[in-house]
């Protein structure tokens, strides 16, 4: 019989003769991986897990019992079918492993080759059926997430249009939607889907976003007046509020006292952006530049090695959207992007005193390009 299986079997046993015997017996049926200890079995799982469909391990090994390897496989590679082989004297361990869900079944030693062959084939079939089920579940989840993403985009636009006291709210939402990733990578090997729970969760998330936006953007008349402020000092103050003061390095700074902005709102915007940057994996220094561009002030915030990571339209913190709304309310612009896979940069442009800060016209022609991204999801 030729080996036409796409996935292999990993056999772990401390007896060299058993490893050779197993490989000789089943090499024509499966691709065989062998290891003489649980530690080496873990190393093979870590390196070759995408090629392995079945793990079968001896229970009684000198350094570590086989059931410990099975627990490791269950936690880290639950898609792999797990089996235990053991002598009659170890049956209590085998039964406990079955009852605790560590294995599909156990096979006693000495082996009956015909029985073991049948068991391995059934274990591989179980692996393949579960793999097909998980793939169908991922496709279902992907379709749901696309629909959820379209609904989330619509809700953000409708919500933004409701902020009647905030200028340029719809262009701000447009910029946010054009820049933020639509889907985050998911490598879940055991996907689950509950339609009603997903729907409930989505509604709760949008209500939380709306509540947070109202709290961050709206304020008393007493603190909503435009005032001339120093952007450098405002940036330092925002970094303290965001808890990233130690990480912030202002590389270049100019006198920005001529800018006329709502100090409370812009401080809130900078705090939101700095706090989000500070949570990026591996981030330890935020480099800021403040530049005078004649009619504008440009604030650049850069993190080396920063990425969008898992951030997407479906889980983006509402603070990011509030930052866009505040920036565009002041007639400004915000651009967030990964640069050459090495840096993450946020550029904030705010108009200087006397520059236009009027409501801009909103054109929905950009929607076509955004919707195409959902089709390519």
Tell me the domain boundaries of the chain.
8-111, 139-375
Measuring CA to CA, which residue among 301, 233, 227 is closest to residue 265? 227
Comparing 219 with 299, the larger pLDDT belongs to 299
Taking only the tens place, the pLDDT of each residue in 138-172 is 888 778 878 888 888 888 888 888 877 788 888 89
Which residues, other chains included, contact 313 with Cβ-Cβ below 8 Å and sequence gap of 6+?
A: 149, 152, 153, 177, 180, 181, 182, 183
- The third-level CATH classification (topology) of the domain covering 139-375 is Heat Shock Protein 90 (3.30.565)
Please tell me if the domain spanning 8-111 has the same topology as the one spanning 139-375.
no
Please check the confidence at residue 263 and state whether its pLDDT lies above 90.
no
Q: Rounded to two decimals, what is the model's pTM?
A: 0.64
Which residues, other chains included, contact 284 with Cβ-Cβ below 8 Å and sequence gap of 6+?
A: 247
pLDDT at 181: 87
Q: Hey, which CATH number is domain 8-111, 3.40.50.2300, 3.40.50.300, 3.40.50.800, 3.10.20.740?
A: 3.40.50.2300
State both tokens at 79.
Answer: 């898609």
Query: Whose structure tokens read 């079944």?
Result: 105
pLDDT at 220: 43
Classify 5 in phi/psi space as left (phi over 0), alpha (psi -120 to 50) or beta. Answer: beta
């Amino acid at each position: 019989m030729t080996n036409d299986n796409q996935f292999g079997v990993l056999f772990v046993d401390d007896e060299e003769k058993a490893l050779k015997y197993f490989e000789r017996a089943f090499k024509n049926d499966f691709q065989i991986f062998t290891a003489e200890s649980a530690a080496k079995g873990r190393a093979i799982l870590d390196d070759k897990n995408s090629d392995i469909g079945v793990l079968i391990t001896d229970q009684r090994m000198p350094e570590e019992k086989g059931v410990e390897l099975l627990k490791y496989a269950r936690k880290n590679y639950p898609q792999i079918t797990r089996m235990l082989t053991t002598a009659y004297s170890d049956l209590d361990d085998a039964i406990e492993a079955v009852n605790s869900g560590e294995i599909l079944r156990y096979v006693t030693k000495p082996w009956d080759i015909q029985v073991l062959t049948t068991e391995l084939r059934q274990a591989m079939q179980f692996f393949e059926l579960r793999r097909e089920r998980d793939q169908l579940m991922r496709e279902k989840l992907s379709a749901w997430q696309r629909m959820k993403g379209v609904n989330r985009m619509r809700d953000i636009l409708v919500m933004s249009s409701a902020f009647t006291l905030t200028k340029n709210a719809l262009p701000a939402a447009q910029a946010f939607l054009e820049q933020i990733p639509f889907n985050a990578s998911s490598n879940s090997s055991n996907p689950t889907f509950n339609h009603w729970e997903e729907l409930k969760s989505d509604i709760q998330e949008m209500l939380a976003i709306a509540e947070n936006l109202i709290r961050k953007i709206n304020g008393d008349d007493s603190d909503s007046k435009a005032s001339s402020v120093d952007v450098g000092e405002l940036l330092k103050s925002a970094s303290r509020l965001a808890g990233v003061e130690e990480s912030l390095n202002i590389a270049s700074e100019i006198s920005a006292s001529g800018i006329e902005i709502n100090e409370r709102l812009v401080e809130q915007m900078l705090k939101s952006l700095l706090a989000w940057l500070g949570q990026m994996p591996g981030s330890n220094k935020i480099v800021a530049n403040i530049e005078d561009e004649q009619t504008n002030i440009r604030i650049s915030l850069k993190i080396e090695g920063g990425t969008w990571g898992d951030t997407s339209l479906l889980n983006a913190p509402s603070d990011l959207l509030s930052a866009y709304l505040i920036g565009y309310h002041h007639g400004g612009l915000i651009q967030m992007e990964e640069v050459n896979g090495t840096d993450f940069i946020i550029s904030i442009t705010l108009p200087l005193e006397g520059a236009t800060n009027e409501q801009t016209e909103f054109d929905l022609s950009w929607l076509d390009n955004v919707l195409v991204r959902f089709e390519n999801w």
